[in-house]
């Protein structure tokens, strides 16, 4: 009786120890295996010969994850060949395992294929689970007339919206400022020209002669009126010295002015020689420029 009870007690203890060990193993497995943080390649737009990269974060649970062994460089399936992995350190000090895959085979049309899942184990026994990843691949020159996968064409990205209210407001303000400046400038030009025509003899003569034929008698008469206003009296060939005494700034064109009065006398009281006829418009323009420099 006692031996049967002892056997029953021993069996219960053995079952408890076995279940405890199993629980410890499960808990241990949960601690050492976790999903990795992976930067995967884009899922579209790949063709034969392209190299794509998976980057796996090597900081598991805030610990320095040291791989026990890096994946080997080999052909992993019909589509991909894995190159020798490398460990890179980012600017912030985190370490990443970069694994390159080259596309060594493609279908004739766009097709979704899978980078297989794999596991990376550390020296301490922790494991990182890298999940599978689907991408679209195609040949460099697809067969003409082959059926197209709907995933080949993708919609354009929407253009970012820009708040144009402030831009429109500034445009209106600066346009108004420009119009005001132009109006002020135009008004000043008109006012200056009007003042010149009112107070400056040759500016007024230029305004009259510019609208008529310089060979017309009216053009020569307009020049005579300008000389009269400059001298403050009627000017004739005999009284030219009084003109230069009253307006000495005209002395630079003395010979041209004397020629004008001589030809004017010939025009109105004698014969005109057209071969040597003076250009009234040119003379008036030069006198206007001298007058402007003197008063500016």
DSSP string, 141-160: SPPTTPPPPTTSS-PPPPPP
Pairwise pLDDT comparison (148 vs 98), residue with the higher score? 98
pLDDT at 275: 58
pLDDT at 292: 81
Q: Note the pLDDT tens digit of each residue in 29-61.
A: 444 567 788 999 999 889 999 999 999 998 765
Q: Is the pLDDT of residue 102 over 80?
A: yes
Assessment of whether the complete model's pTM goes beyond 0.75: no
pLDDT at 132: 94
Torsion of CA 184, 187, 189, 190, to 10 degrees: 180
Report yes or no: 196 and 205 within 8 Å, Cβ to Cβ. Answer: no
pLDDT at 151: 52
Name which of 55-64, 77-86, 144-153, 231-240 the model is least confident about: 144-153
Q: Note the pLDDT tens digit of each residue in 197-221.
A: 556 888 888 888 888 888 888 888 8
Task: Give the residue extent of every domain in the chain.
Answer: 34-138, 193-295
Mean pLDDT, residues 183-209? 79
Mean pLDDT, residues 119-142? 87
Pairwise pLDDT comparison (153 vs 232), residue with the higher score? 232
Size of the chain, expressed as the number of residues it contains:
296
CATH number of 34-138: 2.60.40
pLDDT at 13: 43
pLDDT at 171: 93
Q: Is the pLDDT of residue 96 over 50?
A: yes
Q: If pLDDT is split at 50, 70 and 90, which confidence band does 82 have?
A: very high
pLDDT at 229: 87
Report yes or no: 284 and 291 within 8 Å, Cβ to Cβ. Answer: no
pLDDT at 26: 34
Cα→Cα distances 62→57, 58, 59, 129, Å: 11, 9, 6, 16
pLDDT at 39: 92
Q: If pLDDT is split at 50, 70 and 90, which confidence band does 134 have?
A: very high
Closest CA to 224 of 237, 212, 210: 237
């Amino acid at each position: 009786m006692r031996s049967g009870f002892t056997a029953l007690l021993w069996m219960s203890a053995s079952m408890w120890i076995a279940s405890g060990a199993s629980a410890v193993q499960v808990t241990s497995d949960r601690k050492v295996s976790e999903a990795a943080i992976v930067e995967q390649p884009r899922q579209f737009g790949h063709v034969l010969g392209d190299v794509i990269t998976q980057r796996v974060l090597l900081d598991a649970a805030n610990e320095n994850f040291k791989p026990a062994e890096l994946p080997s460089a080999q052909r992993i399936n019909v589509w991909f060949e894995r190159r020798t992995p490398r460990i890179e350190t980012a600017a912030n000090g985190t370490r990443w395992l970069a694994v390159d895959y080259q596309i060594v085979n493609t279908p004739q049309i766009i097709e979704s294929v899978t980078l297989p899942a794999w596991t990376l184990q550390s020296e301490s026994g922790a494991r990182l689970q890298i999940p599978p990843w689907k991408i679209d691949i195609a040949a460099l020159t697809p067969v003409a007339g082959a059926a197209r996968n709907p995933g080949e064409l993708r919609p354009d990205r929407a253009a970012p919206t820009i708040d144009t209210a402030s831009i429109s407001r500034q445009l209106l303000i600066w346009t108004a400022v420009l119009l005001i400046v132009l109006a002020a400038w135009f008004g000043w030009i008109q006012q200056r020209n009007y003042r010149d025509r009112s107070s400056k003899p040759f500016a007024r003569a230029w305004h009259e002669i510019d609208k008529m034929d310089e060979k017309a008698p009216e053009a020569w008469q307009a020049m005579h009126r300008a000389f009269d206003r400059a001298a403050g009296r009627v000017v004739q060939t005999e009284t030219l010295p009084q003109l230069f005494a009253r307006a000495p700034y005209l002395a630079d064109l003395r010979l041209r002015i004397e020629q004008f009065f001589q030809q004017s006398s010939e025009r109105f009281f004698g014969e005109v020689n057209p071969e040597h006829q003076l250009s009234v418009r040119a003379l008036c323009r030069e006198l206007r420029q001298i007058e402007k420099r003197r008063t500016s």
